[in-house]
Amino acid sequence: MDDADIVRRISELADQEHALERAHQGDGLSAEELERLRLMEVALDQCWDLLRQRRARRHAGQDPDAAGVRPEGVVEDYEQ
């Protein structure tokens, strides 16, 4: 997966997330929809992390293709 593919995936996930939120504006989400939203958020965080890794590796003169998707526990526990 190259940078353009990752950016496309981020866009797709963000569009899906916004559509789910708009569809239930003013109403609560069901347990299934909340879990779907959570999984989308994790996938988005993983994509952003992968894109940052690739850019950092490229900037450091390393192979960006050596970057990999990190597990949920890693990307969700970052301190910002």
CA distances from 56 to 18, 27, 44, 75 (A): 29, 41, 18, 16
Residue type, 7: V
Binned at pLDDT 50, 70 and 90, residue 80 comes out as: low
pLDDT, position 67 = 96
Provide the whole-model pTM: 0.87
Binned at pLDDT 50, 70 and 90, residue 26 comes out as: confident
- Let me know how long the chain is: 80
For residue range 32-63, list pLDDT tens digits in order.
989 999 999 999 999 999 999 999 999 999 99
The span from the first CA to the last CA of the chain, in angstroms, equals 26
CA 66 to CA 77: how far, in whole Å?
22
